[in-house]
Amino acid sequence: MHANVRPLGGRRKNGAHAAGTLFRLLGPLLSLPWIELALDDTVAQKRGIRVFGASVHVDAVTSTKKRKNLVRGHCWVELGVVVDVPWSKRAWFIPLLSRLYRGKKEAGADYRTKSALGRAMLDLVLTWVDPSRKVRLLIDSGYMCRTMLCGLPLERVTIFGSIKTNSALYRPRSPKGQGRNTTMGKRPGRPRKKGKRLPTPAEMQHNERLGWKTIAYRVSQQERRKEVLSLKAQWYGVLGEWVNRVVLIREDEAKLRVVLCTDATLSETQIVEQGARRWPIEVWNRDVKQFFGFADSPAWSRLAVLRTAPWVALLSGVVVVWFHRVYTKGMKVPLPERPWYTWKEDLSFADLVRAAQETLRGMDVQDWAVGIQANDPNVFKKAIEEKEAVALRSTEAPEMAKAA
């Protein structure tokens, strides 16, 4: 594990303990033979010259290929778990750890790249996972680099990530021992560490002789079809001699997407389906800002900045875990009736937040906190009784007014 691991917030012990506790609570949701982790970053716009950690970042939401929009604020690198839930067709992202990325000018000697922050968080989470259990890491092209991947235990951690269309790929090298003994007719010198250079993915895109084929795969329980080209290759500049499976995906005539997987035994269908499961982290980035105030905190001091947003991120995961528990015990949340949205079938994060608000409405926060600390089993029962009493008074008031 990296020596400069910084847990959530400003305090090492409390932040790591909170994230580790949430990870243990995820047990019922981790039903797959492996654990899926996703890593990405999101920007929260901030104003004020005294705001700690504020730097200039590219806003990926409003930027295009031709124009990059710059905003000043906080850039948070998030690492979490991707899980399947019985009350939604899509996969959900639950954040575990957050790191504040600070620009070179603002951080000075403490500057660390986003990839370095992501690697530190990954090393920490791997200490929480049973060593016998496999881990799948889903990342985008920004984190597919040596800083993030070099030295990872690839026998245990399988990487699924996009790479650039001009990446240098090589054929798998020949078996060891070839090319050393000249008396046996072999080339002199040490054995080759990589095979012959392959064309770049961009050069393969329009070459029909390479064996392109159409596959059917499922994303969020919907079937899709794409033209793909699958091959085994070494990405020597980043992963060294490791043999990977590279899948080229034609999105359209002009757009090409390249997915690399470090497990060469998986099929192209499995790799495309698994790579698509990184998208829930993008959905979480939107939901946690729109419905949970992730970017709305006016905090400006160092400790306040380092604690507030990571705590909001953790709390959003707690809401998902709480709702899953009460749902499996029989709690049903009715879908909102909206004439303009009659095809809604799945619960969203906004529905979960509404359910939590209705559950806690009418509850005295201080009494609730004291009851939780005292392990009072009737904490929620008292809140429900108080809520029913308030509702009864509100219905009796109009009748009493009419009688008067």
SS3 75: strand
- Give the tokens for residue 336: 């909102």
**What stretches of 277-348 show up as alpha helix (H) in DSSP?**
280-290, 302-328
Structure-derived torsion over alpha carbons of residues 128, 130, 133, 137, reported in degrees to the nearest 10: 10
* Average model confidence (pLDDT) across the chain: 85
pLDDT digits (tens, 9 = 90+) for 187-212: 677 788 899 999 999 999 988 889 89
Return the higher-pLDDT residue of 184 and 33.
Answer: 33
Question: pLDDT-based confidence at 393, cuts 50/70/90?
Answer: low
Cβ contacts of residue 123 below 8 Å, gap of 6+?
Answer: 1, 2, 5
Give the single-character DSSP code of 141.
G
What does the pLDDT average to over 314-336? 86
Q: What is the largest CA-CA distance in the chain?
A: 114
CB 292 within 8 A of CB 41: no
What does the pLDDT average to over 285-301? 94
pLDDT digits (tens, 9 = 90+) for 123-144: 999 999 999 999 999 999 999 9
How are beta strands 34-45 and 134-139 bridged, if at all? parallel
